Amino acid sequence: MGRMGLWRVHVEIEDRPGQLGELAAAVGGAGCNIVSLTVLGEPGPDGSITDELLVEAADEHTAARLAERIRAAGMGCTLAVPAGGGELRDPVTTALALARRVAADPDAAPRAVANLLHAHLLGDDERSIHTCRLPVFDQDVRLGRAWPFTATELSRAAMLVETAELCFDPLASGETQSSASLGLVLLGDGSEVELRVLTALDGPLIAALHARCTPSTRRSAFLNPSPALSSDELAIQLAGRCGNGTGLIALTTEGGHAVGVATLDPDGPDTSEDGAALGVLVEDAWQARGVATALIRRAASLATDAGYDELTLSTQPGNLGVTRLMRRAGLRPTAQLVDGLLRVRVSLAQSVGEGRRSSINQGS
C-alpha cells in the first residue's frame, strides 16, 4: 500500500446528534482516515457549522470519492485540497508560537498571520480566488488562498496580532528585541529554518521536540531514550548544569515549532577548563536536510565568541555520523571510545574559522 497523502476537507455539519458519526462513516467508507478535526466557522443561516478535517487519502481520486460520499450523506463538502504534513501540528501551539515570534520581531507579523490562516501574502497587483485585508500593526496586509476566509479565522488572526502587540515593548530598542535571532538558514532541500539563541522561555518547545523524536535519536543525542524530560533535565538543556550554559534553537518559519537544538554547557561531562560540552538534537523528519550542520556551525561560532577553546560531545559508539557532521560544518573532530561511549573533541582554535566559511548545501 502506497503512502497516504494529507488532504484538507471542509464539511458543513448540522448541529444534531449523530452527524459526526455519519461523517466518520462516510470517511471510512471512502477508504480514508480522519487525522484531525477543527471547528472552522460560525453557524450559517441554516445552523450548520463548517468543520475542517485533515484526512489521509491515497490519491486525488480517493479524495474526490470522499467528497461524493460526504455529500451523499446529506452534508455539504465545500473543499478538498492537498495539505502539507506540517499542518498536523497542534493549532493552539502554532498560534502561540507565532504570537511569540511576532512579539520578538514585529516585521514578521504579516508572514505569521498568513501562516496562521494557511494563506499567502499578495502584492498590490496579485489576485487570488479568495482574498481578505487585515490591519497588521501599521500595515494593510492582503492575503489570498483557494477557499473562503471565515469570521472565526479572521478573529483568530486579529487576536494573534493583538497578543503580539501586548507582548512587544515599544520602549525597548530594536537591537534588544532582535538580538537573539540569528536569521533564516536556507537548507539543502530549499526549505528554511530560523536560528536564534535559546532562552529560558523555550522550555515547552524543547520538551515537545524531545517527545517527537524517536528513542534512537534521543539516545544518540543525549543518551536518554525517554520521551519525557524531567524538570531537572529540561533545565540542563536550557542553561547547563550550573546555569551558565547557552545554546541555539532551530524553528520552522511556518509555525515557530522547534525542529532542532544545540546546547553548550561549560560544566558538561569530560570538559576541559576552557571547553564546553556540545549537544545536538534534530527531529527525525528534519534530519538529512542541513539543520544539524547549521546548528553545529553556529554553535561553534557562539562558543568561540564566548571564549571556549574546545568542544566535547559524548554519544553512542555507533553514532559515527556525528564526526561527519562536524567536518561538514567546517570543524576538525577527533574521536575515541571511552567507557563504552564515543568521545568527540574539537579544537576551536584550529577549525572554527573554516567552519564559518563553509556553506550548507548539504547535511543532516
Of the listed ranges 63-67, 81-85, 113-117, 237-241, the one predicted with least confidence: 81-85
C-alpha distances in Å from residue 30, one per residue of 5, 22, 186, 306: 14, 12, 39, 59
Q: How sure is the predictor about 178, in pLDDT bands with cuts at 50, 70 and 90?
A: very low
> For the residues 197-214, what does the mean pLDDT come to?
81
Domains and CATH numbers, the chain: 5-87 (3.30.70.260), 89-176 (no CATH), 180-357 (3.40.630.30)
pLDDT above 70 (res 148): yes
CA distance 40 to 10: 8
Q: How sure is the predictor about 140, in pLDDT bands with cuts at 50, 70 and 90?
A: confident
Q: Please report the pLDDT score of residue 315 as a whole number.
A: 87
Q: How sure is the predictor about 327, in pLDDT bands with cuts at 50, 70 and 90?
A: very high
pLDDT in tens, 153-174: 877 787 787 777 766 554 443 4
CA distance 217 to 210: 9
Q: How sure is the predictor about 97, in pLDDT bands with cuts at 50, 70 and 90?
A: confident
**Residue 54 contacts by C-beta under 8 Å, 6 or more apart in sequence?**
6, 7, 8, 9, 34, 35, 36, 37, 83, 87, 88
Quickly list H helices, 73-199. Answer: 91-104, 109-116, 151-167, 174-178
pLDDT above 60 (res 2): no
Q: Please report the pLDDT score of residue 72 as a whole number.
A: 92
The pTM of the full predicted model, rounded to 2 decimals, is: 0.57
Q: Please report the pLDDT score of residue 308 as a whole number.
A: 92
Q: Please report the pLDDT score of residue 281 as a whole number.
A: 93
C-alpha distances in Å from residue 357, one per residue of 39, 78, 301, 328: 49, 51, 11, 11
Torsion over CA: 306, 311, 314, 315 (sign) = positive
Q: Please report the pLDDT score of residue 363 as a whole number.
A: 46
- 303 and 321 Cβ atoms separated by less than 8 Å: no
CA distance 269 to 265: 9
Centroid of chain to Cα 233: 22
CA distance 324 to 332: 10
Torsion over CA: 163, 169, 170, 173 (sign) = negative
pLDDT above 60 (res 352): no
Q: Please report the pLDDT score of residue 360 as a whole number.
A: 38
> For the residues 140-165, what does the mean pLDDT come to?
80
Using alpha carbons only, give the angle 198, 203, 205 rounded to the nearest 5 degrees.
85
Phi and psi dihedrals of 94, rounded to 5?
A: -60, -45
Amino acid in position 287: Q
pLDDT above 70 (res 240): yes
Beta bridge partners of 145: 130
Bridge pairing between strands 275-282 and 310-315: parallel
Q: Please report the pLDDT score of residue 292 as a whole number.
A: 94
pLDDT in tens, 36-85: 888 876 666 566 788 889 899 888 899 889 999 999 998 988 888 888 76
Amino acid in position 303: A
pLDDT in tens, 14-43: 878 888 899 999 999 999 999 888 887 666
Q: How sure is the predictor about 357, in pLDDT bands with cuts at 50, 70 and 90?
A: very low
The one-character DSSP state at 8 is: E
> For the residues 270-290, what does the mean pLDDT come to?
89
Q: Mean pLDDT score of the chain, rounded to an integer?
A: 82
DSSP-derived 3-state class of residue 273: coil
- 364 and 292 Cβ atoms separated by less than 8 Å: yes
